[in-house]
Amino acid sequence: MKKQVSSTFLLVIYCIFAACFLLSSAEGLVPSTQPYFLWPNPQTGEATVYFKNGGSKPVETLWVGYAAWKDAPQVKSKISNLISRGIVPFIQSYHFGDNGLRGQFELALAFDREIASAIGNSFAIVNLEPEWDVDVVLNLFKSSQGTQSLLNRIQTFKSLAPNSVVVSTPGLWKSAQDYSFFSSVDSKLNARAMLMHVVNSGDASCAKKQDGSLWPYGVKSLSEGISMVKSKIDENLNKMTQAWGGSLPFEWILSDVGVTSCGWGADGQAAIVNELIKNLDCLYASGFRGFNLRNSGPSDLWERAMGINNEGMFTFTTSAATMNVIKTGLTKVNAFLVNGQKPSCSSNNGGSNSGSTSSYKVNVISGSNDWWTQIEVLPTSSVQTVVLKCGSASTSLERPAWSQTQFVKGLSAQCPMGSDIQVIVNSKYTYPINLKQISENTWEGEMQNGFCPIGANVQLFVVLRNGHVERYDIIYGYDNVARLY
């Protein structure tokens, strides 16, 4: 009996010591199964992970790998230091982009193994190969060796850093067919991810890069920037489901978001960010788990590819309006995540919704005329069919390769001015449009500064006044060579 009591006592003591050891070694650890939300801190602006238990941890983003910070020992030391200070590392594992690796997949795997070992059991977010769909990298990953390397890297994090949330963020600029090869990789990730950069390409002072050229892939006005937020999310979610299967809800994040204030000021920046908050109920219901919002541009002006001032004015902490919008959003996030409040998402409530909806917005795209129709239907995620009815004739519009939100068709018979035109979505919802909206306008002008050789690449800028087009400026090189009225 004495021996049994002694053994029991020793077992109890062992368990106490073991528990103390586990508690001390696991201090600050968050299992990956714990619900989380990524959101800017409304006081400091720094990215923060919020947890269901009401706790939170600041986030620091690290761009590491052979196309970024490639000193593995220093990277490991940095990650360990962050974790010891209670900071969540957001790892942008970037090996193949820009001037990075062109093969040599084993080097990327070995580097990620070092990263994963530094993370250990701590909570982290890992984004494998941001914007991997630039052609040279896309072609690498489409090969059997490239696809397998991504699978191996995911498995490395699952084994060595099991509490990490592993995602991968393509730019999603191409058609869904271009991404179908990635389905085997997608199935192993913890969440899907997309990016969003709202920059001003309608103002040359915003879009100008260090080499003097202008970044063309932005929006031309504040109104375009505001509408882009929801339409781009809908387009990307739709493309993901087309390429990789599944249906909403599924977990997804915006892993890299930049919203400039250049050209429309702090209030304009706040209005763009507010689109996320306005649609947060339905976004959360669709699986949205937050966004990583840039608060600065690269210090090296040559790295500001989207325009020196565009990226230089990503800063939002100096904008009281934007910070207030972020604060409002966090209140809703806590209601969903911590308090268990159910999002109020209906077919007419905005945000991404996988079901059918009767609340579509139909926009006629410039360039349409009585022989060619080009329209945009939002939200696009639930659109199955779009039919244009002109008088008694009907034709089905097709989704072009260059856009997931637009629908186009050349009309075999002219649809003349004054016709009764209707757009019918999903064979159910009818929207009348005015053919005058899609008639072509003629803008005339003459060369006013230098010359523009035949075949030269030029850029067209729209100048607005009071919401209406005042003129078009044609830019060749550094010069405004023509002005059309």
Residues 117 and 194 occupy one common structural domain: yes
Q: What is the rounded CA–CA span in Å between residue 82 and residue 73?
A: 14
Distant-in-sequence, close-in-space partners of 64: CB < 8 Å, separation ≥ 6: 70, 75, 91, 92, 93, 94, 111, 115
Instruction: Give the domain-ending residue among 273, 303, 337.
Output: 337
Residues 403 and 258 occupy one common structural domain: no
Residues 132 and 253 occupy one common structural domain: yes
Residue 349 lies in a domain: no
Residue 332 lies in a domain: yes
Residues 323 and 426 occupy one common structural domain: no
Q: What is the rounded CA–CA span in Å between residue 239 and residue 233?
A: 10
Closest among 237, 343, 326 to 274, alpha carbons compared: 326
Residue 344 lies in a domain: no
Domains contained in the chain, number: 3
Residues 315 and 402 occupy one common structural domain: no
Residue 22 lies in a domain: no
In terms of pTM, does the model score above 0.75?
no
398 within 8 A of 408, measured Cβ to Cβ:
yes
Residues 308 and 222 occupy one common structural domain: yes
Residue 351 lies in a domain: no
Q: What pLDDT is stored for residue 377 in this prediction? A: 86
Q: What pLDDT is stored for residue 215 in this prediction? A: 96
Residues 463 and 371 occupy one common structural domain: no
Residue 21 lies in a domain: no
**What range defines the domain where residue 376 resides?**
361-438
Walk along the chain (485 residues) and give the pLDDT tens digit of each residue: 433 444 443 444 344 334 333 333 333 323 355 789 999 999 999 999 999 999 999 999 999 999 999 999 999 999 999 999 999 999 999 999 999 999 999 999 999 999 999 999 999 999 999 999 999 999 999 999 999 999 999 999 999 999 999 999 999 999 899 999 999 999 999 999 999 999 999 999 999 999 999 999 999 999 999 999 998 998 899 899 989 988 788 899 999 999 999 999 999 999 999 999 999 999 999 999 999 999 999 999 999 999 999 999 999 999 999 999 999 999 999 999 999 999 988 643 444 444 334 567 788 876 666 677 888 888 776 777 888 888 767 788 888 877 778 888 876 556 765 677 888 887 777 888 765 544 444 444 544 444 555 555 555 655 555 445 555 666 555 454 465 55
Q: What pLDDT is stored for residue 31 in this prediction? A: 38
The CATH number given to whatever domain includes residue 392 is: 2.60.40.760
Residues 295 and 428 occupy one common structural domain: no
Residue 2 lies in a domain: no
Residues 277 and 207 occupy one common structural domain: yes
Neighbours of 333 (CB within 10 A): 20
Q: What pLDDT is stored for residue 455 in this prediction? A: 52
Q: What pLDDT is stored for residue 305 in this prediction? A: 96
Residues 429 and 459 occupy one common structural domain: no
Q: What is the rounded CA–CA span in Å between residue 408 and residue 394?
A: 13
Residue 228 lies in a domain: yes
Residues 180 and 232 occupy one common structural domain: yes
Residues 431 and 464 occupy one common structural domain: no
